Amino acid sequence: MANIHSQKKRILRSERERLENRRYTSAIKTYFRRLEAAVAAKDADTAATEHRALVSTIDKAVKRGALHRNNGARKKSRAARLHKSIS
C-alpha cells in the first residue's frame, strides 16, 4: 500500500474506473450473447432490439474510454454481420 496521500487517492480512483470499465465490457458481452441467441432462434424483432442496444452500449464504452475505438468498430461490425444474417 502506498504511503503518499495522492497515490492512495489514485489507487482508489483507478479501482473505481476499472469497475466502470468492467460494467461496460460485461454489458457488451451480455448483449452480444442475447443477439446470438435471437439470431439462432430466428427472432428478427428481438434481434433488432438487441442489436440497437448493443451498438449504443459499444458507442458509449468507446466514448468513455472503456474500449479502444478499433475494438468497438470490430465488435459493431461483427454484430452487424450477425444481425444481417437474419434479415
What digits encode the pLDDT tens for the residues 3-60?
A: 899 999 999 999 999 999 999 999 999 999 999 999 999 999 999 999 999 999 999 9
State the pLDDT confidence band at 87, using cuts at 50, 70 and 90: confident
- The Cα–Cα gap between 25 and 61 comes to 8
**Residues 33-38: contacts with CB under 8 Å, at least 24 apart:** 35/79, 35/82, 35/83, 36/82, 38/86
Number of Cβ within a 10 Å radius of residue 74: 13
* 4 contact partners, CB below 8 Å, separation of at least 6: none
Is this model's pTM higher than 0.85 or not? Answer: yes
Sign of CA dihedral 69, 71, 73, 79: negative
